[in-house]
Amino acid sequence: MSDYQNASAAQWQQWDEQHIWHPYSSALQRPDIFPVVSAQGVRLQLADGRTLVDGMSSWWSAIHGYNHPVLNKAATDQLANMSHVMFGGLTHQPAASLGKRLVDITPAPLRRVFISDSGSVAVEVAIKMALQYWISKGKKAKSRLLALRSGYHGDTFATMAVCDPVTGMHHLFSEVLPQHLFAPSPNVAFNETATDADMAPIKTLLEQHHDELAAVIVEPIVQGAGGMRFYSPHYLRLLRGLCDEFGVLLIHDEIATGFGRTGELFACDHAGISPDIMCVGKALTGGYLSLAATLCTEEIAVGICEGEAGVFMHGPTFMGNPLACSVANASIDLLLSDDWRRNIARLQRGLQAGLASARELPGVKEVRCLGGIGVIEMEHPVSMASIQKRFVDAGIWIRPFGKLIYTMPPYIISDEDLAYLCRQMVAVVEQESAR
Ligand SMILES: *Cc1c(COP(=O)(O)O)cnc(C)c1O
């Protein structure tokens, strides 16, 4: 091994500090960044010997926890066989099986699968599918998108342009981002029925702009990184109807919500509807490898390919990566072999019971839970610099943003660990509100 690989802990941590970008970080002011040396089940082991109960599932992805023997075996078996081959002109069982599996577990109209390497790329692909579909149909003017405020769809340029225009990066990149349309964030609670008044703003936009609209893009039921907001399946059902009425495609970004997190396998299942195009990612490989997929209906696929180009114009180098597909197949097997619905209901009860007392604390605006997601919304943004360290000192891994302190733990978390996670979250919130 080279000196690089043999580096002492102090040495590599210094290299990290000197050279490595972390998500949304400054090169000038180093935030607290905690070195991890291993992870097992729901526990992260820090370099200083402390262990943390993980409340983040590594951003919605590690649903089965860390170092899972079944997923490890899928990876090592595939590694011994072939870790990667190009997907142009070649194919293999891991990708074919994954495609078939995804078609079988998503709503019936979704029949064609494009496998890519990250969530943002899956959304880029979805947008390109919608645009290419209308180009093929001779309706080039249908080139804009309609998104929701408080939405989040990724960090690449096409996806940034459909993120929330205020909390997203529109201002910074206003010169280069395409200008899309935005409807208000749905203001209909999960258990409520949407009224005509609730649908009026988005209906008006569709009425006025359908000639230039290729698609509506939404995160179904849960708006994640844009605000951790939950909304009604009925809104989603009515939106499906409006898209049909005005001849606009519907894209569901299920990258955060897919694979059981909200209590249904996919969030659109709460509404009993299907989008024309759906994106999945994050939990797809149980948090092991970067992989995502974009599914579309036969109508979209055929429409695209009947056009001038004759093919769908996309093909990433690592498309259909066999290693990632094998782990994804094992992860989905693992999820479906369990009584996942009952388990997510258990998480929801545990989160509701464990976080309820935060409601009484000063500075707390709202506590809400859905499936395996628990959110404490504060009145004011928290100070990351101080609160991050306090979560670690409390023995849990929680990474808030803005006013939102939230958790979506691995599905395998025990009742005891879940109670501990919630108790410590509430304790840190109590310290925060006492500041
Ligand atoms: C995380 C996320 C993305 C982007 O996925 P990456 O893998 O980070 O590129 C897109 N949409 C939603 C809803 C997400 O939560």
Q: Of 66, 133, 152, 231, which one is the catalytic site residue?
A: 152
118-162 pLDDT, tens digit per residue, is: 999 999 999 999 999 999 999 999 999 999 999 999 999 999 999
The pLDDT score that the predictor gives to residue 432 is 84
Q: Of 253, 269, 276, 417, which one is the catalytic site residue?
A: 253
DSSP state, residue 95: H
Percent of the chain with pLDDT over 70: 100
For 332-358, what is the mean pLDDT? 98
The rounded distance, in Å, linking the Cα atoms of 390 and 388 is: 5
The pLDDT score that the predictor gives to residue 384 is 87
Which residues are 249's β-sheet partners?
Answer: 215
For 151-180, what is the mean pLDDT? 91
Buried b / exposed e over 291-305, threshold 16 CB at 10 Å, is bbbbbbbeebbebbe
The pLDDT score that the predictor gives to residue 1 is 75
Asked whether residue 427 carries a pLDDT value surpassing 80, the answer given is: yes
Ligand 1 binding site (Cβ under 6 Å of any ligand atom): 118-120, 123, 152-154, 219, 224-225, 253, 255-256, 281-282
Test site for ligand 1: of 22, 58, 123, 222, most ligand atoms within 8 A of the Cβ:
123
The rounded distance, in Å, linking the Cα atoms of 59 and 400 is: 11
Q: Which atom of ligand 1 is nearest to the CA of 253?
A: 13
**pTM greater than the 0.85 cutoff:** yes
pLDDT tier for residue 23 given thresholds of 50, 70 and 90: very high
296 in Cβ contact with 306 (< 8 Å): no
The rounded distance, in Å, linking the Cα atoms of 204 and 164 is: 19
400 in Cβ contact with 394 (< 8 Å): no
**Range of lowest pLDDT (26-40, 48-62, 406-420):** 26-40
pLDDT tier for residue 211 given thresholds of 50, 70 and 90: very high
Rounded (5°) CA angle 292-288-124: 20
For residue 199, the one-letter residue type is M
CA dihedral sign, ordered 215, 219, 224, 229: positive
